[in-house]
Amino acid sequence: MPTSLHPSWLPALENEFHKPYMLGLNQFLEQENEHQTIVFPKPSDVFNAFNLTPFNEVKVVILGQDPYHGANQAHGLSFSVQKGVAVPPSLKNIYKELQADIPGFKIPNHGDLSSWAKQGVLLLNATLTVQAGEPGSHQKMGWEQFTDRAIRALSEQREGLVFMLWGRYAQAKASLINPTKHVVLTAAHPSPFSAYNGFFGCSHFSKANAYLVKKGEKPIVWQID
């Protein structure tokens, strides 16, 4: 497992790599490699969310659950897929909500959300790896403890962040966030199974930008080239 993180995250997360749970996780991933199990994303992309969005530049946090488990999809950012790969259903619904919420938003022809990450949108999955074709296969192996620590660090050491929690799994992370210091927005998951039950019409993207502007911050350009 690569352990290179953007230097800004090291004060909060470096010690995690020496804890028993992380050593156990690393051993599990080594066994997956020894068994020639295909794991997504590729090792160099596992910590993409942290490396594209430095700790002190985080403005918005969008929490996902698992990386995509199909070939060439996952690249370390929640809900995002690499260019050239079909846009997944949940992301299609995110685009539909953006089109309804942000004036002038045009649905792009790809699903790479890297431009958001580079503006301060931390696209964080609770679990950072997955076995090909097996959703949830790397859950409860230690990743959640690591990513929970990242959320706690942001809650404790930063102020005025916007957390978007979509679906029950993400909403369970609300207990890690201080609501007096940050804005917590909740809605249904954008999956086709639940989007019509409270995701569509949530206006999270415009609400986030309105809050950032009120705080004197530059709003997120949600439009993707």
- Of the candidates 32, 56, 58, 53, which has an alpha carbon nearest to the alpha carbon of residue 43? 32
Query: Coil, helix or strand for 175?
Result: helix
Exactly one of 45, 66, 101, 112 is catalytic; which is it?
66
Could you say which DSSP state residue 11 is in? H
φ and ψ at 45, to 5 degrees?
A: -105, -5
3-state secondary structure of 168: helix
> 105, 225 in Cβ contact below 8 A?
no
Question: How far is Cα 214 from Cα 60, in angstroms, rounded to an integer?
Answer: 14
Q: Is 34 exposed, middle or buried (0-12, 13-18, 19+ CB in 10 A)?
A: exposed
Query: In the 8-state DSSP scheme, what is residue 198?
Result: T
Assess whether 66 carries a catalytic annotation.
yes
**Is the separation of the CB atoms in 196 and 216 below 8 Å?**
no
Residues with catalytic function? 66
